[in-house]
């Protein structure tokens, strides 16, 4: 009988796997891999532009360059300038780690109090760190939003948006990763997102204090208008990222308000999918909202976000 792996095991495997890929790329001749500084990569679509990947592993498996135990959590990793940023929770403290991507050496780690918030799963952080320039932005399930100095780990600012802005928590707490838009960092919190100023963490705009979805903001453009789409608890919301102005909303409800998979937006169309019996849909984006092209229940993304590759959408159903 094969041993069972818990989510905690998979969290460690995730870090190991990332380290293997990074180290492999960095040692391939003189080429260095491109950064992966935020959730779903630099293009926010889950697709790497790297080439020359090894398509066949040796029978004994790939060589492990390094591994690290980081605690409990569901956060992915961010890679920037030869460093890996990862999160976990130990003894009701969220911890942000900074590792040397090549050697796996711990450069620094910083923690702040945050309950594990285990509910039908092991708990721990769900959002992925976002790295931009000399800053790392993180978000906890309990509403902590922080900016760290990427080089030293020093906390530049720390704001708890749930407590300070009187936000209602979704049943499984906050999960969306920080999204950078100019001088602002946007979070999926409240009815239609909120933005903090990167400089000091003060509120730039806020759309209500209702229950949020679990997705991360996705950028797109209508004409010359830069926009972001946020899938909330019950609606898809399009916003002006600079002002927070709601451009349009579209109803998208599922059981327990679980909208957790990021939408795919390309060529003026939006694909969205949710779990249970909701299914998926493709919509044409207009200046005043979405027009349905089709809907079906052939793909129901409970947690994982889909990937569009060469005209086909890939993901897990159910």
- In CATH, what number is assigned to the domain containing residue 281? 2.40.128.630
Reduced to 3 states (helix: H, G, I; strand: E, B; else coil), residue 113 is strand
Whether 268 is covered by a domain: the verdict is yes
Rounded to an integer, what distance in angstroms lies between the CA atom of residue 101 and that of residue 275? 35
Whether 96 is covered by a domain: the verdict is no
Whether 50 is covered by a domain: the verdict is no
Work out how many domains the chain is built from and give that number.
1
269-310 residue pLDDT tens: 999 999 998 999 999 999 899 999 999 999 999 989 999 999
Whether 286 is covered by a domain: the verdict is yes
C-alpha distance from residue 130 to each of 69, 140, 280 (Å): 21, 13, 28
Q: What is the mean pLDDT of the chain?
A: 90
pTM of the model: 0.90
Whether 12 is covered by a domain: the verdict is no
Whether 312 is covered by a domain: the verdict is yes
Whether 132 is covered by a domain: the verdict is no
Whether 232 is covered by a domain: the verdict is yes
pLDDT tier for residue 32 given thresholds of 50, 70 and 90:
low
Q: Residue 292: give the domain boundaries.
A: 217-318
Q: Is the pLDDT of residue 17 over 80?
A: no
Please list the alpha-helical segments (H only) found in the chain.
7-26, 161-165
- Short-list 62, 66, 65, CA closest to 53: 62
């Amino acid at each position: 009988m094969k041993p069972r792996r818990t989510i905690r095991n998979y969290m460690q495997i995730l870090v190991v796997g990332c380290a293997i890929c990074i180290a492999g790329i960095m040692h391939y001749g003189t080429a260095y891999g491109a950064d992966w500084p935020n959730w779903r990569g630099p293009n926010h679509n889950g697709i790497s532009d790297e080439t020359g990947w090894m398509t066949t592993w040796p029978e004994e498996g790939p060589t492990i360059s390094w591994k690290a135990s980081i605690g409990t959590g569901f956060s992915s990793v961010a890679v920037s300038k030869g460093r890996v940023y990862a999160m976990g929770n130990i003894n009701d403290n969220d911890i942000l780690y900074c590792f040397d991507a090549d050697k796996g050496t711990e450069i620094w780690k910083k923690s702040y109090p945050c309950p594990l918030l285990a509910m039908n799963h092991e708990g721990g952080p769900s959002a992925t760190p976002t790295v931009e320039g000399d800053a790392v932005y993180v978000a906890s399930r309990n509403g902590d939003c922080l900016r760290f100095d990427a080089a030293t780990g020093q906390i530049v600012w720390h704001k708890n948006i749930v407590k300070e802005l009187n936000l209602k928590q979704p049943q499984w707490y906050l999960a969306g990763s920080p999204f950078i838009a100019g001088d602002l960092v946007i979070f999926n919190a409240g009815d239609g997102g909120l933005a903090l100023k990167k400089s000091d963490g003060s509120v730039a705009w806020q759309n209500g204090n209702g229950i949020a979805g679990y997705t991360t903001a996705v950028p797109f453009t209508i004409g010359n208008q830069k926009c972001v789409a946020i899938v909330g608890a019950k609606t898809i919301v399009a916003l002006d990222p600079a002002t927070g102005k709601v451009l349009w909303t579209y109803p998208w409800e599922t059981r327990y308000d679980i909208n957790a998979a990021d939408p795919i937006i390309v060529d003026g169309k939006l694909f969205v999918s949710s779990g249970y019996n909701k299914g998926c849909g493709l919509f044409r984006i207009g200046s005043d909202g979405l027009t349905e092209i089709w809907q079906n229940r052939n793909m129901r993304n409970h947690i994982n976000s889909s990937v569009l590759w060469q005209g086909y959408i890939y993901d897990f159903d159910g």
